[in-house]
Structure 1
Amino acid sequence: MAYQTSLQSQTMEMLVAYRQKPSVQLRNRLVRLNMGLVRKVAHRLAHQCAEPYEDLEQCGFLGLITAIERFDPTQGYAFSSFAVPYIRGEILHFLRDRANTVRIPRRWQQLSRDGAKVRQALTMELGRHPSDQEIADELDLSMQEWRAVKLAASNRVPLSLNARVSSGHHQQSDSMMTLGDTLMDARCQIMQTNQEDRLELQQALDQLEDRTREMIESVFVHQLSRQEVAQRIGVSPVTVTRRIKKGIDELVGLLQKSAALQMEV
C-alpha cells in the first residue's frame, strides 16, 4: 500500500512537470513508471481473444502515451483511472480491426509485429509518428519490402472460410488450417463491441462536472432512487432530477460528437 501511494505521488509530480514542460525523456519515464497498467489490461484482454499478448501490450503502450498527453492534473482525479480507458480503447480498436480479417503467413506476421514495435519505440523517441522510411531503416528493409509487409497486413481479401492456409515455404509439409480457424469467435466480437460502447460512455462521463456524474452513476449504475441520492448529497430531489437531465443532454452531445469524429476518420 505504501509503495502504491508512493508510485501515485511520483506519477502525479511527473505529470505536473510534463504538463508545464513536455519532453520525450519525461514522457518515457512516465511510460516506464506506469507499465503495470498496460500489462494488467493486456493480460485481461489476452484471455478473451486469440491475438498474441505482445501485440496487445504494444497497442496498450500507445494508449498510455495518449493518456499522458491528454491528462490534466488540475482536474483532481487519479491518473490510473484516466489512463486505463485509453489503454483498453487502443487495444480494443486493434482487436476490432483484426476481428474480421484472416491471418497472414507467419513470416509476414513477424515482420508486421517487428514493425509495430519499431513504430512504438520511434514514437516514444521522436515524439511523433515515424515515417515509413524510418521504420524500414530500423528493420533493415527496403521501402519496397516494408510496403509489401504493410500491404499483406492491411489488405487481406476475404475468402471462403473453408479455404486452406499455410504459413510455411513448403506447403505440403505444413499442418493446414482453414481461414475459419483463424477468425475470432462471434462471442468475442460482441464482447469487444460492448466494451467499446462502455469505454466511450465512461470517457463521456469523465468530462461531466463531478457532482453531475456522481448523480448519474448513483441512479443508473448503482440503482439508487433520486430521493436516496438527494439525501446522500444534501440537495433536493428536484435538484437531482434537474442535474441528471442536464447531464444526460451533455452526454448525448458528447457521444454524438465522438461518433461524428469516428466517421470522419
Structure 2
Amino acid sequence: MPVSETQIKKLNKDDFSLRNEIVAEYLPYVNRIVNRIATHLPPTVDVDDLVNVGIIGLIQAIERYDPTRDNKFMTYAVFRIKGAVLSELRSRDFLGRTTRKKIRTLEKAYLKLEQQLGREVHDEEVAEEMEMDLDQFYQVKRMSSISFVSFEEMGCTSREEKETLLNYLANNDGENALALTTIKEVKATLARHIESLPEKERLVVSMYYSDEMTMKEIGLALEITESRVSQIHSQAVLRLRNKLRKDGLLEE
C-alpha cells in the first residue's frame, strides 16, 4: 500500500520502518532524476554512485521535511535529491578547469557573434570562432548544459546561503530577503526569456523541465533524433544563461 502524504506529515523521525517504506517508494524518482542528469555526463561518471547520493538526499528530505509549510513532500524531496546529486558533481569537479574554460569561451562566442550578426548564429559559425571542429564543439556544448544555473553563479558560495536558497525553492519561504530578491527575480526573468526562445527550443525546454519528459520521449514526440533534442536543449540553455548574465543575474 502506497505511503500517503498524511503518513509522511505525521512521521515520527524514530520510525525507521516507515522511513524505509518511504525510501523504497520514492526510489524510482531518485533513479529517474539521476538518469536525466546522467544524459549530460561523460561515461566515466558512475551512475550508481549518483543514485546512492540521491538516496542520501531523499533521506535528508525525510528527516528535514517540515509539514507545517505549505508544500508537498514530493516537491521538497525532488529538490533535495537534485540538490544532493548536483552538489556531488560540483564537489568532484568532473568537468575540470580546462573544460569549464571551454564552456565559458563557448558562451562568450555565442554572445559575441549574436551581437555582431544581429541574428541567431549557427553551430558551424561558433565552432569556427572557437577554432574547433564540430565534434569537439558539440562535446563542449553538451557538457555546458549539465547545470542550468549554479549556486555559485548566483553569488551563493557558503553552505548556509545554498541551504537558504534550497529551502526557499522547496518551501516557498518568503521570510528571507536574499531568497526573495535573488530567486524570484531569476525565475521571473527566466520565464520571460524562455518565451522569447525560438519555437523549437522553447518547446524542448518546456517538455524537458515542465513535463519532465526524457530526451528520447521528446525526440519521439517531435519526430527528431535524441541527439538532435540534446543539441536543441544545449543551445537553449546556453542562450538562457547568456541572457541571465547580460541581465546581471549571473556572475561573470
Question: Per the shorter chain, which TM-score range?
Answer: 0.3 to 0.5
TM-score if structure 2 supplies the norm length? 0.43
Q: Which has the larger radius of gyration?
A: 1
Higher relative CO (CA 8 A, sep ≥ 6), structure 1 or 2?
2
